[in-house]
Structure 1
Amino acid sequence: MAFMEWRRFTFFDLNKSIDSGKISEALKGSQITTSSSGHNNLVFGDAEGFVHLANRSFDVSTFRAHDGKVNCVHHIQHSSFLVTVGEDEGGNSILRVWDTEKKDKQGSPSSLRSHRLQPGGRGATVTALAVHQNQLVAVGHSDGTILLQRGDVGRERATKQVVLRDSSDSISGLAFRITARAMFLFVATTAGSFLYNITTKDKEFKQNLDSLGCERNCCVATDCIPECNFIIGRTDAVYCYTPEGRGPCYAIEGKKKLLQISRTYLVVVAEDRKPGGGEENSITSLTLTVLDLQNKFLVYTAPVREVQAVLSEWGYFLVLTEGNNLLALAEKDVQSKLSMLFKKNLYDVAIRIAKSQQYDAEGLSDIFRQYGDHLYSKGDHSGAIEQYIKTIDTLEPSYIIRKFLDSQLIEYLTTYLQALHKYGLAGEDHTTLLINCYSKLNRTDKLREFVLTKDRDLDFDVDTAIKVCRQVSSADALTLALKHRRHDWYVKIQLEDKQEYKKVLEYISELPFHDAEANMKKYGPLLLKEAPQETTDFLKKLCSNYKPKGEPLIDPREFDGSRLEENRANPEEFIHLFLENPDMLIQFLEHSIQVDPHESNLVYNTLVEQYLQVWEAGDMEEKRQLGQKVIMLLQNPDANYDRAQTLILCQLHHFSDGLLYLYEDSKMYQHMMRYYASSRDYEGLLACCRKFGGQEPTLWVQALNACSKDSGAPAHVLSEILLVIEKDRLLPPLLVIDALASSSATLGDVRSYLLGVLKGEEEMTKQEQALIEKYSAETRAIRQQINAIETSNVIFRANLCNACNQHLEMPSIHFLCQHSFHQQ
């Protein structure tokens, strides 16, 4: 038998004793006429009308299905229904349906249905049978007649029969093909092949496929191969058909005796004639061949004796040979196939096999790696790198990179690195290596294309590419950064490599708010140093309601009534940038509190501190201007400064105006007095006492103590203090004298105070003497009244109640003091 030039392998093992002779023993003496398999059963029909069922253990049960020869059997794959067609005593064809799981009293499958077939003419025998999912049955006859039954196979009344008679040639085979939109019945005769479209009941129509037919048992159907729904074996080749017409054909010479298919494996039993001195003397033998139609391999071939049947069940091809011996073809497991192919270095075949077996990505990757290693060892570096590229998802890139680091292999390494970037799995080191490869190969055009080509998927790490390009060309690095909007890189290169400070500020001003804010935080110190005024002006914008340059001042969404988020940076976060430029900091902070008078505590405190630092170091005019600014700031009710910290700052920088304002505003009059005393400002001291002495009289006492300790205190100040103390009696004279005892004050300084005190004491003495005389006279009068009451009668003449001013009613109560009341 001559085959097409397909690769030959042995992917099946032959087992000659799989059933331990059970089938041969059970079928001994039987002439097998037909066979089928399904639902874990092997089915054999014989010429005597018996059907033999073999289970998974090859135990055989036999029952009589027909009186005469069994022409066809079909066991539905996923059902317990068995359909048989045989002859009765009169030679009529009978279709019967059995349930192999239900048994009758004799232990045989129960009969569900029996139907006499009546094709057109007498003498026509059944030659083909097809059943589809319990709903369709087709029976072909030797005179070309086809009986098509629709309905439940197991229920006689549920089926409807139609006769299709479009050929006079014997039917060799039938097969159903069901799609989502149509139903077809493939028909093979001894003289041709065609199909019926049976989608619509009673409207079946024929479509010719080919003018060549086949013998019985030489056609099979499959759903596993898209281009092969119906396969016919002829002497010259095997032909495939679909509802659209003829598909591929495979040149396998030799008269075909039998075809069987399982998944993508096609079994062909054909005659193989060997020359023997003439046509009549040629030696004929049978060859069993297994073809892998998907991968286009010849996966098994062996000479066999006369073959009666080939069945597919339990993962085997089961071959019934002469003498009813059962052979089994078992497919090798995938790993065994691959191991065999690896030994022969047939990695391309191994890959096809693994893919057809749905190998996972990791398993395929390992085969690609081995294939690549094999090609690499043979010096086929181009082929090797092609295989290595297929391992990118699973194999560590360093495994391949190490193999191609030699300078003579850089071109192949470049190809691999390009693929690594295309898959988006390249890291920083890989990008660096690829750009270096371009440089060593002097492929500047490739380098530019790699990093700068527009309208291409991004397949490299941009940051790494910019970093490496910067070492070669700052201009290319800038272009790359600008293209991919790597703002940080663009600003960094412009500042460090080109010192384009104003251009950087212009670029940042066009960025979205968050990007502009981040770049100013990072590069603000350098920009303030080199372009202070421009940088400060931009920071003012950033800390106001920022809008990128070029955008409209008014957002169209505002007209829809939408409330837009205000883009305004926090000034606090930029204060540290101005450490070496206080003048710019003052500008910045003044703008901030102007934009938002309720700025934070830190902003106001920093502004006050900067004012005072510049004030302390400035000339008279600067002091005047800044002093006014500080006082205005302190007097502003919206100013959110820390009073305690501001007090300390005013003290540190000796800013008395601010210090006194804060003391006064905080009602810290004692501190004001201490400040005036320490600075020997007695006019201020006196003014403070005059202004706040009414609220806090002890200020005059504090002023006295301050003057008593300073010999240089003006006399008129001391005199006024003593005058107020005397007037308001704030301190006893003895304590005043005691306070002045250690001072340098003269008698003349305190003469008026002492005279006033003595005069006051004299007047007080006179007032007290007058009171003594008054109280003595009142005492004598009271004593005389008491004596009169004790020694004389008292006459009560009152006729009105002293409480209610009404006439007294009896009983009444009278007191010696001449008061009278009702008793109640």
Structure 2
Amino acid sequence: MKSVCQRGPCCTPISFSWSSGSTGRKKEVRFLTCYQLSNPGRLFDYSAHMEGQIWFLPRSLQLTGFQAYKLRVTHLYQLKQHNILASVGEDEEGINPLVKIWNLEKRDGGNPLCTRIFPAIPGTEPTVVSCLTVHENLNFMAIGKQKSYIVSGKDYPRVELDTHGCGLRCSALSDPSQDLQFIVAGDECVYLYQPDERGPCFAFEGHKLIAHWFRGYLVIVSRDRKVSPKSEFTSRDSQSSDKQILNIYDLCNKFIAYSAVFEDVVDVLAEWGSLYVLTRDGRVHALQEKDTQTKLEMLFKKNLFEMAINLAKSQHLDSDGLAQIFMQYGDHLYSKGNHDGAVQQYIRTIGKLEPSYVIRKFLDAQRIHNLTAYLQTLHRQSLANADHTTLLLNCYTKLKDSSKLEEFIKTKSESEVHFDVETAIKVLRQAGYYSHALYLAENHAHHEWYLKIQLEDIKNYQEALRYIGKLPFEQAESNMKRYGKILMHHIPEQTTQLLKGLCTDYRSSLEGRCDREAPGCRANSEEFIPIFANNPRELKAFLEHMSEVQPDSPQGIYDTLLELRLQNWAHEKDPQVKEKLHAEAISLLKSGRFCDVFDKALVLCQMHDFQDGVLYLYEQGKLFQQIMHYHMQHEQYRQVITVCERHGEQDPSLWEQALSYFARKEEDCKEYVAAVLKHIENKNLMPPLLVVQTLAHNSTATLSVIRDYLVQKLQKQSQQIAQDELRVRRYREETTRIRQEIQELKASPKIFQKTKCSICNSALELPSVHFLCGHSFHQHCFESYSESDADCPTCLPENRKVMDMIRAQEQKRDLHDQFQHQLKCSNDSFSVIADYFGRGVFNKLTLLTDPPTARLTPSLEAGLQRDLLMHSRRGT
């Protein structure tokens, strides 16, 4: 037990006299027998006199009392929750003591009211009372006596903790901070006991007189002739007498908080937050505990930081206050050169003290070991940032402590990681610890860093490709896009195989059997084409694989494959190989994959002068004009005729172009000209005059070439003229006849002689309906079948056809007038004509009444429409 100082840091002594309330004279305390402290907040302490008096001592220290017993008072007990005092005393010699209960709130002649009196111990044999206590519920009272025995030990077994006890007033009970231990003060040691075992002991010398517990302190009053320290509580002429030493021990922190010498201590009392020492000379000495901050400052001045820490903990100082003590302790040790001890104190400040304060100290002192220990703890408490991680790893690398480095990075689970993994990977990579960096990257799924180290630092391309094959689909896809070119340059075959799997049915190599049965994922194969920029052979293998395994591959796959095949065909010298490549290219074009990108495939074929592909694409795109021009450029006369024969039905202008082409040739092309003219004549594609004008440009063409054509044309025109004249004559006769019938209808009456209904063919009965056309109907038949009251049901279909024809002619005439008007008023005549063409205005209007060989029907006069309708009805 260390003594802090003579007085100690914990108590401040105050000395004052105890004077009587009546006389005010100092009196020697000689006959006090017992003391009882009141509860906190009460106004009095109580003391009993050998003369049977009970004294009240208020905080003002003015004594008042009353006579309770005739002889003496031996025991007092004040209840904590009630203002009731219990006392034990004697009124006569040779009889058992009496117990008296005093109500301090009620008065009887100025004294407290005695509410009850009864013998302390039943029986007539006098017995001395040794102790007294009362339960707070006022139902139980315990009185101890010197002569007693155990009635039954069955339910209450005796546990002997020690064979010796202590003197009167040399025991105490500690508070909960010391687990409510029973304290026994012997002459050689102070023993602590728990209910079932013996606790620690402390070697405090001296004959113990009083033991008391106060606020976590053990107060011991002892007599020791060897020790006679100077004290303000001793008189100058009392050095020869036995002195009593009062020591206050802090058992938790193990130091003497206070020590002083007193003369004839009567008792030690605790009340009103202070410790009072009552001496025989009538003085009361008050010892007041200093506040925690004052205690700590005194300990700091003496550099007793361990005691200060223990004291702060016992006083439940907050974490900020403790951290401040740890920092001061660390600074003290650091100034003394004890860096190992200092770093341990700084570690205890983590979470409160800024780490840079500690880091700067050990960086300046070049104490890498101590700095490493601090940073390790900082990481374990998950309070480190990226800079701290960088610094710690640099410490490991400078110390070349691979074991510590591996212990730091090789954690069992993600929850145990107390540092920024990405920062650690960067530092380890920069320091050349590639294996450690790879371990972190792989275990913490930093795939990009793992691949970057493998490819850029270690150059282990096989391992990098294997690692990508283990990744989930999305990550494998992104990393192949990022590092695919490097891998393709060094290991093209293996990279191509991985890309094939990635774009068809990818499954990670880590997937189990159940996962492999599920459908895989597919990447967009077109996005990986740039990876093969310098590997055309692998690119062709990749594209052919994708076109075979995955026919619905993106269009870019087929475009690139076509380009590769055309390049190989163009640069190939071997005829047999060239023929094979030619067949592959044509097969790809005929696969139907270039319908939507016709122009791109055509450009590729033209760039590589692949004429068969060009002609095929022209034909698929119905570009018959381009096919014709191609054969014309190459003077392939027979192919020109073939193109016209094959596609002339879809594009009749091909024959006109062929005629113009052969007409411009100076060679003898009579055979081809004759074939063209024959088709033009059969299909009536050109007017004869235009044919003659076209052939007039050829100096080698003679009249014999077109003689047969002209003769046949003239004969057909003559026949057509004769047919038209005959038709005109027939129309005139028909018109004359119809006019005569109309005139008859207007001038003479119409007799209805029909006897049968034109609908049901039954005998006609009234009421009936008759029409000028000659049809008659029952009224009920007419109402059932007629669509209009003014029209004959039998003649209505034919009349409707005539009316439709008339309306069509009128509409066509109006449309012609509107077209002529817009054409004259517009500045861009071509746009007007194109607009009418787009609306199909110039298409031939076909009527159901037209005969197959009929031409355009002449317009009818407006006045003949009604007559023509009536004639049609009568004819029916």
Aligned pair partner of 1:142 in 126, 142, 145 = 145
Deviation at 1:535, TM superposition (A): 1.8
Aligned equivalents of 1:686, 1:311: Cα separation in 2: 138
Return the letter of the residue paired with 2:249. Answer: L
Kept in 2, the 8 Å contact 1:69–1:87? The answer is yes
Unaligned 5+ runs, structure 2: 229-237, 781-876
Unaligned 5+ runs, structure 1: 146-162, 167-195, 197-201
The structure with the largest helix share of the pair is 2
Aligned pair partner of 1:341 in 291, 299, 302 = 299
Kept in 2, the 8 Å contact 1:221–1:229? The answer is yes
Is 1:237 paired with 2:224?
A: no
Aligned equivalents of 2:454, 2:493: Cα separation in 1: 19
Deviation at 1:773, TM superposition (A): 1.7
Deviation at 1:764, TM superposition (A): 2.4
Normalized against structure 1, the TM-score is what?
0.71
1:33: which partner in 2? 34
Relative to structure 1, the CA distance from residue 765 to residue 397 in structure 2 (aligned partners, 3 Å threshold; closer, same or farther) is: same
Secondary structure of the residue aligned to 1:369 is helix
Secondary structure of the residue aligned to 1:208 is coil
Aligned pair partner of 2:719 in 750, 755, 763 = 763
2:202: which partner in 1? 250
Kept in 2, the 8 Å contact 1:274–1:283? The answer is no
Kept in 2, the 8 Å contact 1:467–1:477? The answer is no
2:131: which partner in 1? 128
Q: Alpha-carbon deviations, 1:87-117, whole Å to 9, x = none?
A: 586865548698x9xx779999999999975
Q: Alpha-carbon deviations, 1:331-372, whole Å to 9, x = none?
A: 433333332222222222222223334445544343333223
- Residues 621-660 of structure 1: matches in 2 within 5 Å? none
Deviation at 1:529, TM superposition (A): 0.8
Secondary structure of the residue aligned to 2:165 is coil
Return the letter of the residue paired with 1:537. Answer: Q
Return the letter of the residue paired with 1:798. Answer: K
Aligned equivalents of 1:640, 1:307: Cα separation in 2: 119
Aligned equivalents of 2:520, 2:115: Cα separation in 1: 83
Deviation at 1:240, TM superposition (A): 0.3
Is 1:451 paired with 2:406?
A: yes
Kept in 1, the 8 Å contact 2:471–2:508? The answer is yes
Kept in 2, the 8 Å contact 1:15–1:328? The answer is yes
1:293: which partner in 2? 251
Relative to structure 1, the CA distance from residue 805 to residue 297 in structure 2 (aligned partners, 3 Å threshold; closer, same or farther) is: same
Aligned pair partner of 1:673 in 602, 625, 630 = 625
1:809: which partner in 2? 765
Deviation at 1:475, TM superposition (A): 7.8
Q: Alpha-carbon deviations, 1:264-322, whole Å to 9, x = none?
A: 3223334454679xxx9952344433222111121223345666665656755466667
Return the letter of the residue paired with 2:45. Answer: F
Deviation at 1:775, TM superposition (A): 1.9
2:501: which partner in 1? 541
Secondary structure of the residue aligned to 1:808 is coil
Return the letter of the residue paired with 1:532. Answer: P
Aligned pair partner of 2:340 in 382, 387, 400 = 382
Q: Alpha-carbon deviations, 1:428-486, whole Å to 9, x = none?
A: 66666666666766xx5x33563379987778777667766667767866886799687
- Residues 435-446 of structure 1: matches in 2 within 5 Å? 446=401
Aligned equivalents of 2:163, 2:390: Cα separation in 1: 66
Secondary structure of the residue aligned to 1:798 is coil
Relative to structure 1, the CA distance from residue 352 to residue 452 in structure 2 (aligned partners, 3 Å threshold; closer, same or farther) is: closer
Kept in 1, the 8 Å contact 2:245–2:261? The answer is yes
Deviation at 1:242, TM superposition (A): 0.7
Kept in 2, the 8 Å contact 1:354–1:364? The answer is yes
1:184: which partner in 2? none
1:172: which partner in 2? none
Deviation at 1:583, TM superposition (A): 3.0
Q: Alpha-carbon deviations, 1:704-731, whole Å to 9, x = none?
A: 4687489768887777677666655667
Return the letter of the residue paired with 1:350. Answer: A
Deviation at 1:46, TM superposition (A): 3.6
Aligned equivalents of 1:815, 1:410: Cα separation in 2: 128
Aligned equivalents of 2:35, 2:197: Cα separation in 1: 29
Kept in 2, the 8 Å contact 1:545–1:568? The answer is yes
The structure with the largest strand share of the pair is 1
Kept in 2, the 8 Å contact 1:42–1:54? The answer is yes
Aligned equivalents of 1:92, 1:710: Cα separation in 2: 160
Aligned equivalents of 1:263, 1:796: Cα separation in 2: 145
Relative to structure 1, the CA distance from residue 381 to residue 767 in structure 2 (aligned partners, 3 Å threshold; closer, same or farther) is: same
Aligned equivalents of 1:766, 1:383: Cα separation in 2: 134
Relative to structure 1, the CA distance from residue 692 to residue 87 in structure 2 (aligned partners, 3 Å threshold; closer, same or farther) is: farther
1:188: which partner in 2? none
Secondary structure of the residue aligned to 2:719 is helix
Secondary structure of the residue aligned to 2:160 is strand
- Residues 79-228 of structure 1: matches in 2 within 5 Å? 84-87=86-89, 92-94=97-99, 118=121, 122-129=125-132, 139-143=142-146, 145=148, 203-225=155-177
Relative to structure 1, the CA distance from residue 802 to residue 495 in structure 2 (aligned partners, 3 Å threshold; closer, same or farther) is: closer
Aligned length in residues: 744
1:185: which partner in 2? none
Relative to structure 1, the CA distance from residue 454 to residue 751 in structure 2 (aligned partners, 3 Å threshold; closer, same or farther) is: same
Q: Alpha-carbon deviations, 1:468-512, whole Å to 9, x = none?
A: 666776786688679968766665455445544345445655666
Deviation at 1:54, TM superposition (A): 6.6
Identity rate of aligned residues, in percent? 37
Relative to structure 1, the CA distance from residue 657 to residue 306 in structure 2 (aligned partners, 3 Å threshold; closer, same or farther) is: farther
Return the letter of the residue paired with 2:461. Answer: Y
Aligned equivalents of 1:760, 1:493: Cα separation in 2: 91
- Structure showing greater radius of gyration is 2
**Deviates further, 306-315 or 530-539:** 306-315
Is 1:582 paired with 2:530?
A: no
Relative to structure 1, the CA distance from residue 283 to residue 568 in structure 2 (aligned partners, 3 Å threshold; closer, same or farther) is: farther
Relative to structure 1, the CA distance from residue 133 to residue 587 in structure 2 (aligned partners, 3 Å threshold; closer, same or farther) is: farther
1:186: which partner in 2? none
1:366: which partner in 2? 324
Relative to structure 1, the CA distance from residue 144 to residue 214 in structure 2 (aligned partners, 3 Å threshold; closer, same or farther) is: farther
Deviation at 1:771, TM superposition (A): 0.8
Deviation at 1:547, TM superposition (A): 5.0
Aligned pair partner of 1:11 in 9, 12, 27 = 9
Relative to structure 1, the CA distance from residue 359 to residue 518 in structure 2 (aligned partners, 3 Å threshold; closer, same or farther) is: farther
Deviation at 1:588, TM superposition (A): 2.7
Deviation at 1:526, TM superposition (A): 1.6
Relative to structure 1, the CA distance from residue 727 to residue 294 in structure 2 (aligned partners, 3 Å threshold; closer, same or farther) is: farther
**Deviates further, 376-385 or 104-113:** 104-113
Return the letter of the residue paired with 2:721. Answer: T
Normalized against structure 2, the TM-score is what?
0.67
Secondary structure of the residue aligned to 1:45 is strand
Aligned equivalents of 2:283, 2:114: Cα separation in 1: 29
Return the letter of the residue paired with 1:808. Answer: L
CA RMSD of aligned residues (A): 5.5
Q: Alpha-carbon deviations, 1:186-239, whole Å to 9, x = none?
A: xxxxxxxxxx9xxxxx82222122222234443222353456621122333321
Aligned equivalents of 2:348, 2:778: Cα separation in 1: 128
1:774: which partner in 2? 730
Secondary structure of the residue aligned to 2:198 is strand
Secondary structure of the residue aligned to 1:241 is strand
Secondary structure of the residue aligned to 2:205 is coil
Kept in 2, the 8 Å contact 1:802–1:820? The answer is yes
Return the letter of the residue paired with 1:229. Answer: Q
Aligned pair partner of 1:532 in 492, 496, 501 = 492
Kept in 2, the 8 Å contact 1:32–1:44? The answer is no
**Deviates further, 328-337 or 303-312:** 303-312
Secondary structure of the residue aligned to 1:800 is coil
Kept in 1, the 8 Å contact 2:53–2:65? The answer is no
1:45: which partner in 2? 46
**Deviates further, 783-792 or 293-302:** 783-792
